[in-house]
Amino acid sequence: MQQRMALSDGARPTGQFRNTAYVINESRRHFDAAHSAGLMAVQGRSTTGRTFLLGAGPLDARPEVIDFVRCSYLGLDNHPEVVSGAIAAIEAHRSLHWSCARTRLNFDLLAELEATLSEMFCARVLAFSSVMLANLGAMPILASGELTGGRKPVVVFDRTAHISLAYHKPVVADETRVETIAHNDIDALDRLCRDNPVVAYVCDGVYSMGGNSPIKELRQLQERYGLFLYIDDAHGISLFGHLGQGFARSQFPQVLGDRTIIAASLAKGFGASGGMLMLGTPDQETLFRRYAIPHAFSAAANLAAVGAALGSCKIHRSAELGQRQRQLAQRIDLFDRRIATAERGNSLPIRMITMGSEAKAIAFARELLDCGFYTSVTFFPTVGQGKAGIRVCITADHGISQIEQLCDCILEKVAETTDKLLCDRPSSEG
């Protein structure tokens, strides 16, 4: 699950960027409570659709739970085409994995996958074993200035950019200037673009804790100033566009150009396993295939991931993709008609029910689990301190009645445990 590591400036007594000890000490008791409540590090076995068998005992003794934690927004992670693709790739090579760098030896099927994705997304697509490693590969190259005509950019991070991006701030800062601006603060970004010759902006497309980047405004800054955009659209891929181009890519022109890189997941909406980068030019591709650290010094996505992704490409190129996108939209709408959140009305599948107190959020998530619904209780450092809540991931694969039952349960528990209905109270989580 992609989540963000939120640290306000006041929370950093030492270090310019990181204070791991502080994070640990401030959150330890909440982790203890959430684990004691059986809400974290849960084990399960897949059944059908969005249900799983909870726990570790004999299969027939485990309770069946409806899952709102997994980010398989189109419900593709157990699609027969994806599963059979994974197995077919293993069987074709009679192997799962080659332990060598991609700069050396590559499964032919991986080349086929990258060619297919490149055609689908009108970009030069490189696959990685995870989005976290795709981002690790990109950040030093971005800092080097090699993507911006040999001039090092000021690299500006959105304050709530995913930890798989924000982690690299000290690394980037060792090579060039790093700035962090408030969430979606286009004015601040505009000022930085005016004051500096080369600026790169690093953000999420769809934010894992709700909301999204203002792509239109970012493109305007790009047109005005030549702003370089690095957008992690892990949570937006597949959900929009007739080929599942995703939230970010579908808002850019056919030709991506030399000033935009989009990272995305091969899991989540896409339904397989791994990550990818969409690059815009042959020079960028050459650069990444030589110098992206995971490409040169770690291993590729394994063959099962490659085969599953090839299976998912078939679904993406069929009418089923649009059907699933529409099913998802219906389910989001259904949820929104029942439960008010800060995200109500946006077309994204992530909904945050903000409770404030960590203890209250943990108790609430436990009550939902007792009713058969597994949701993500979120607290610091995933969200800010005192901004705990419940994350609900809606998918196309949830039955209408499953969504309705969850909403009933949320409203009932809210009525029981708070003075006024949650739906009367605007959520503060962005």
* Minimum CB distance to a second copy smaller for 16 or for 417: 16
Q: Report if residue 154 touches a second copy, rule: CB under 8 A.
A: no
Please pick, from the candidates 46, 318, 323, 417, the single residue that binds a second copy as defined by CB under 8 A: 46
In the complex, what is the shortest distance from the CB of residue 308 to a second copy, in angstroms, rounded to a whole number? Answer: 5
Q: Report if residue 371 touches a second copy, rule: CB under 8 A.
A: no
Q: What is d(CA 419, CA 308) in angstroms, rounded to the nearest whole number?
A: 48
Q: Quick one: DSSP state of residue 76?
A: -
Cα separations in angstroms, 309 against 2, 24, 375:
19, 36, 26
Given a contact cutoff of 8 angstroms between Cβ atoms, the answer to whether 68 and 375 are in contact is yes
Single-letter amino acid, residue 222: Q
Given phi > 0 = left and psi -120 to 50 = alpha, else beta, which region is 240? beta
* Minimum CB distance to a second copy smaller for 340 or for 393: 393
Cα separations in angstroms, 213 against 216, 231, 237:
9, 9, 14
User: How many residues bind to a second copy according to rule CB under 8 A?
Assistant: 104
Please pick, from the candidates 160, 265, 284, 325, the single residue that binds a second copy as defined by CB under 8 A: 265
Q: Report if residue 145 touches a second copy, rule: CB under 8 A.
A: yes
Please pick, from the candidates 11, 26, 38, 90, the single residue that binds a second copy as defined by CB under 8 A: 90
Cα separations in angstroms, 339 against 108, 397, 419:
48, 19, 16
Question: Please, what is the end-to-end C-alpha distance for the chain in angstroms?
Answer: 18
In the complex, what is the shortest distance from the CB of residue 43 to a second copy, in angstroms, rounded to a whole number? Answer: 5
Residues in 157-196 at the binding interface with a second copy, rule: CB under 8 A? 162-164, 167-168, 170-171, 173-175
Q: Report if residue 314 touches a second copy, rule: CB under 8 A.
A: no
* Minimum CB distance to a second copy smaller for 280 or for 294: 294
In the complex, what is the shortest distance from the CB of residue 233 to a second copy, in angstroms, rounded to a whole number? Answer: 14
In the complex, what is the shortest distance from the CB of residue 71 to a second copy, in angstroms, rounded to a whole number? Answer: 4
Residues in 99-118 at the binding interface with a second copy, rule: CB under 8 A? 99-108, 111
In the complex, what is the shortest distance from the CB of residue 236 to a second copy, in angstroms, rounded to a whole number? Answer: 13
Residues in 1-30 at the binding interface with a second copy, rule: CB under 8 A? 1-3, 5, 14-21, 23-24, 27
* Minimum CB distance to a second copy smaller for 82 or for 256: 82
Strand-pairing partners, residue 128, are: 275
Q: Report if residue 67 touches a second copy, rule: CB under 8 A.
A: yes
Please pick, from the candidates 123, 308, 362, 414, the single residue that binds a second copy as defined by CB under 8 A: 308
Residue by residue, DSSP assigns 364-385 as HHHHHHHTTEE-EEE-TTSS-T
Residue whose C-alpha is closest to residue 154's, from 137, 175, 170: 175
Residue whose C-alpha is closest to residue 280's, from 216, 232, 228: 228
Residues in 288-307 at the binding interface with a second copy, rule: CB under 8 A? 289-291, 293-294, 296-299, 302-305
Q: What is d(CA 172, CA 92) in angstroms, rounded to the nearest whole number?
A: 41
Single-letter amino acid, residue 118: S
* Minimum CB distance to a second copy smaller for 28 or for 194: 28
Q: What is d(CA 243, CA 245) in angstroms, rounded to the nearest whole number?
A: 6
Q: Report if residue 313 touches a second copy, rule: CB under 8 A.
A: no
- The b-or-e profile of 232-254 (16+ CB within 10 A means b, else e) is bbbbbbbbbbebbbbbbbbbbee
Please pick, from the candidates 29, 36, 63, 91, the single residue that binds a second copy as defined by CB under 8 A: 91
Q: Report if residue 287 touches a second copy, rule: CB under 8 A.
A: yes
Q: Report if residue 133 touches a second copy, rule: CB under 8 A.
A: yes
Q: Report if residue 258 touches a second copy, rule: CB under 8 A.
A: no
* Minimum CB distance to a second copy smaller for 42 or for 359: 42
In the complex, what is the shortest distance from the CB of residue 216 to a second copy, in angstroms, rounded to a whole number? Answer: 28
Q: Give the pairing type, strands 124-128 and 373-374.
A: unpaired
Q: What is d(CA 350, CA 210) in angstroms, rounded to the nearest whole number?
A: 6
Which residue is listed with tokens 């998912």? 312
